[in-house]
Amino acid sequence: MTETENIACSTYDVVVLGAGPVGENVADRTRAAGLSTAVVESELVGGECSYWACMPSKALLRPVIAQGDARRLPGLSASVQGPLDTAAVLARRDYFTSNWKDDGQIGWLESIGADLHRGHGRLTGERTVTVTGPDGIRKVLTARHAVALCTGTRAVLPDLPGLDEVKPWTSREATSAKAAPGRLVVVGGGVVATEMATAWQALGSQVTLLVRGKGLLNRMEPFAGELVAEALTEAGVNVRTGTSVESVSRDNGTVVVVTGTGDRIEADEILFATGRAPRTDDIGLDTIGREPGTWLEVDDTLRVTGSDWLYAVGDVNHRALLTHQGKYQARIAGAAISARASGAPVQADPWGAHAATADHGAVPQVVFTDPEAAAVGLSLAEAEQAGYRVRAVDYDLASVAGAGLYGDGYRGRARMVVDLEREILLGVTFVGPGVGELIHSATIAVAGQVPISRLWHAVPSYPTISEVWLRLLEAYRDN
C-alpha cells in the first residue's frame, strides 16, 4: 500500500478537535442545527473533567465534606470520629469515572449523529485536520464552515533539578491514585493544591503543603485563603507559606524535597499543582501561521482573531479555565458557527446566544475544600485596580441562623463588592460550609446587574444560609 493509499479523506461542515465537555457541547449545538460534525479525540471521550479533574476530585472530596459537616453536629459527631473508609471512597471515585472507560460518552456522541475519529489530530492547512489513528492510518478531514479547537490544558511542571527521576504527580495522578500515600508533599496554593491536600489528608496521608506566596487561593478575597489555611492546619496538614522548592530527588523510593531555606522534607509522593498550559503545542498551528504552544485570542463568538473559520473554545483561549465556562462558551460557539453556516446574522439577541459576555465579569467558581470557598465577579482589589469606585460589605456567616443549624463552630464570611456609581454588585465571595450551593444566586445578581434596590425585595427563606443576603444588604444600607 502506498502512502497516498493509506490516507482517507472526508468532508464535514464542522470539525471539532477535542472531545471533552467543551468539544461535546460544540458538536451538540452544530448537530442540532443540522450540520455534519466530526469529533477528533486522542484520549478518552469526555476529557479531563470526566476522568482526571471535576468528577473524580469531587467524588474524593464529597465524603470529606460530609464527614466534616457531621462532626460539627451534636448527636451525630460522636459517631463519625473514625477515619474514612479509603477503599470505599476510591471505589466510588472509580464509579464516577466509569473506571476510565468512555463507552457511555461514545454512545452519547453517536446518539446526536456526530462522527468520532480516534487519534491525534493536527491542523494541516486552512479548514483541514489530519488524524493519525492508533493503527497509523491517517484521515484528512476537511471542514466546509469551521474547525473548533477544544483541546484544553495540561499541567505545568517547574524546571527543577532531579524532577525527571522523581516521577511527580500532577492533577491526573492525584485524582486517579489507587491508594493514599503515607506522606504527600503538595506544591502550590491554588484550587488543585488545596482540594487535593484536603482530600488526601482525610484519606490517610500526612500532607505537607508548600506555598511559594504569602497565602492560599490568591485569586479570591484574602479571607478565603486564610479560612481554608486555618481549616487545613486543624485537619493536620502542615501548611508552609513563603516556601519555594529548590530541588527534588528520590532516594530508595523516598521523595526528598529541599526548600529555599535549606530544609529537607521526605515524602512518598509529591504533587505539583503549579499551573496549566494550553494543549496547542502539537496541533499544527504552525501550518496556518500561528505559534504552537500559545493561548489563542478570540472574539466573543469564540472565533480566533484574524480568522473566519477557526474557533478556540474553552481553556485554550485562556478566558476562564473552568469546565462550566467552557461549556457555556461551547454553546455560544456552536450557535455562532451554525448561524454563519446558514447565512444568518451573528448578533446579540435576548438570550445572548452569539456572544460570550459572561466571561468578562460574572465567572463563578467553587473550591470544594472544608470550608468551601465560592466567588463570582471581581474581588475588592480587582475592582479597585479596574478603576471602579467601590465599597466592600462584609458579614460573619456564623451569625446567620441557617448557618448555625449546620452545627457547632461554624466559621465563614461573606463579602459583596458594590459599584457605588450604579449601585450594582461587581463581585461576591462566600466562605463556609455549604456555600457552594449559594453562589448561583450571587452569579444571577452580578450577571444580571440587578440593582441593590431590587435585591432588597428578593426575600431569602428562613432559616437558610441565604439569609446572609439580607444581612449584607442591611449592612450596606445602614452604614
Residue ranges, comma separated, of all CATH 3.50.50.60 domains in the chain are: 7-46+102-154+278-358, 163-275
* CATH architecture for segment(s) 371-478: 2-Layer Sandwich (3.30)
Q: List, in sequence order, the alpha helices (H) in 276-364.
A: 323-342
Q: What cell was used for 76? A: 451525630
Confidence of residue 202 (pLDDT cuts 50, 70, 90): very high
HSE on the CB side for 392, CA within 13 Å? 18
Confidence of residue 340 (pLDDT cuts 50, 70, 90): very high
Confidence of residue 350 (pLDDT cuts 50, 70, 90): low
Q: In sequence order, what are the residues at sequence separation of 6 or more whose Cβ sits closer than 8 angstroms to the Cβ of residue 478?
A: none
Confidence of residue 341 (pLDDT cuts 50, 70, 90): very high
Confidence of residue 6 (pLDDT cuts 50, 70, 90): low
Residue 3 in this model has a pLDDT that exceeds 60: no
Q: Which residues contribute to the annotated binding site for NAD(+)?
A: 188-195, 275
Task: Provide the pairing of β-strand 424-432 with 372-377.
Answer: antiparallel
Q: What was the pLDDT predicted at 77?
A: 93
Q: Is 152 exposed, middle or buried (0-12, 13-18, 19+ CB in 10 A)?
A: buried
Q: Name the amino acid, one letter, at 428.
A: V
Q: Which helix (H) or strand (E) holds 184?
A: strand 183-187
- Asked whether 334 and 33 are in contact (CB, 8 A), the reply is yes
Mean of the per-residue pLDDT values for the chain?
95
Mean pLDDT over 143-160 rounds to 97
CATH of span 163-275: 3.50.50.60
Distance CA 417, CA 375 (A): 11
Q: What was the pLDDT predicted at 354?
A: 84
Of 437, 434, 433, 428, residue with least CA distance to 371: 433
Mean pLDDT over 258-283 rounds to 96
Q: What was the pLDDT predicted at 351?
A: 66
Q: Which residues contribute to the annotated binding site for FAD?
A: 58, 121, 315
Q: Which residues contribute to the annotated binding site?
A: 58, 121, 188-195, 275, 315
CATH fold, domain 7-46+102-154+278-358, is FAD/NAD(P)-binding domain (3.50.50)
